Amino acid sequence: MTNYILALVFGAFFGFSLNKAGLTKYNKIVNVFRFTDLAVLKFMMTALVVAMSGLYALRGLGLITFPNVPATYIVGNIVGGLIFGVGMALTGY
Amino acid sequence: MKFIMNYIRKEEWSPYVAGVLLGLVGIAAVWASDSLLGASGAFENLAGLIGKAVAPAAFDNMYFNFIMPPGITYGVILLVGVFFGGMIGAATSGTLLWGKKGSANSDEQWKRIFGPQVWKRWALAFIGAIILEYAAGIAGGCTSGLAISGGMLLAPAAFLFIMGMFASGIVTALIIYRKNY
């Protein structure tokens, strides 16, 4: 139950940050592929850097263990990514 | 304090600030509930739930039994949170278009490229969403679940996915925008 409440809170913050970064807008998403507005990349990479340094630091201190890391299967990941990009540029998701 | 309140009311944050916020949420999610942030998996859980009720035979396969078991999972609740979080974000900046005229197709750039028709917007969103969800199923996650959450654990899958995503995204944008690229 507490896990569900946490999920709701994390989700709300997640949605909030997406909205404030403008990633809920079609033009933001598609313009990153046109190289006219790189907000998506700035947002994603900042989140990545902050989270990976925090997570690896916490794991180094022995405070957390990693949940199951997404599996690598090269063809699946790349083909999935290739199809995903089409949908992303089309809808602005 | 006043500065922070004013910043929250701003419609568009610096992507760096919003990124830091998401990074911290990502850390908190792993720390407090041992889960990653993701979106596409939740749709598959829900689809499985509906599918098992409507056509149990068709959904009785490896994928829906083991890889993406149906049910109200952590991800589904997270998605509900995302929905309301997005609304809160829009409400605090006064740009919530819920129920307002023209809100079904409000993006100026979209209208310039495809036209002002609402049905077109919805049809393209529907088709695109099918492509997105199908691709997320193949790759094992979407932008949030694989690219961001996987990337912060330094999973190779995430970076392969980002590579593919940008390669085809750029080509698709080129085709759609042609001269206006």
Number of domains composing chain B: 2
All residues of chain A having their beta carbon less than 8 Å from the beta carbon of residue B94 are none
B139 touches A79 (CB < 8 A):
yes
B91 with B148, same domain?
no
B117 with B144, same domain?
yes
Q: Which of A11, A27, A56 sits opposite B80 (nearest CB)?
A: A11
pLDDT digits (tens, 9 = 90+) for B69-97: 787 888 899 999 999 999 999 999 888 87
Shortest alpha-carbon distance between residue B5 and chain A (Å): 14
B27 with B81, same domain?
yes
Residue A33 pLDDT: 92
**Chain B interface includes A57 (CB < 8 A):** no
B76 with B120, same domain?
no
All residues of chain A having their beta carbon less than 8 Å from the beta carbon of residue B155 are 69-70, 72
Q: Which of B65, B95, B125 is the last residue of a domain?
A: B95
Interchain pair A11, B152: CB under 8 A:
no
Higher pLDDT, B41 or A93: B41
Q: How far apart are CA B18 and CA A15, in angstroms?
A: 11
B70 with B35, same domain?
yes
- pLDDT tens digits for chain A (93 residues)? 788 899 999 999 999 999 999 888 888 999 999 999 899 999 999 999 999 999 999 999 999 888 888 888 889 999 999 999 999 998 887
Indicate if the pLDDT at residue B42 is higher than 90: no
The ipTM of this complex is 0.92
Q: Which of B38, B62, B95 is the last residue of a domain?
A: B95
B124 with B90, same domain?
no
B90 with B115, same domain?
no
All residues of chain B having their beta carbon less than 8 Å from the beta carbon of residue A9 are 81
**Chain A interface includes B96 (CB < 8 A):** no
Q: Which domain holds residue B153?
A: 104-181
B116 with B64, same domain?
no
Alpha-helical runs (H) found in chain B:
2-9, 15-33, 40-54, 62, 74-92, 108-114, 118-139, 149-151, 156-177
pLDDT digits (tens, 9 = 90+) for B103-137: 777 788 888 888 888 898 889 999 999 999 999 98
Shortest alpha-carbon distance between residue A35 and chain B (Å): 9
Work out the number of other CB atoms within 10 angstroms of the CB of residue A67: 14
Alpha-helical runs (H) found in chain A:
2-21, 26-33, 39-60, 74-91
B81 with B117, same domain?
no
Average pLDDT over residues B138-162: 90
**Chain A interface includes B91 (CB < 8 A):** no
Q: Which of B95, B123, B140 is the last residue of a domain?
A: B95
B137 with B84, same domain?
no
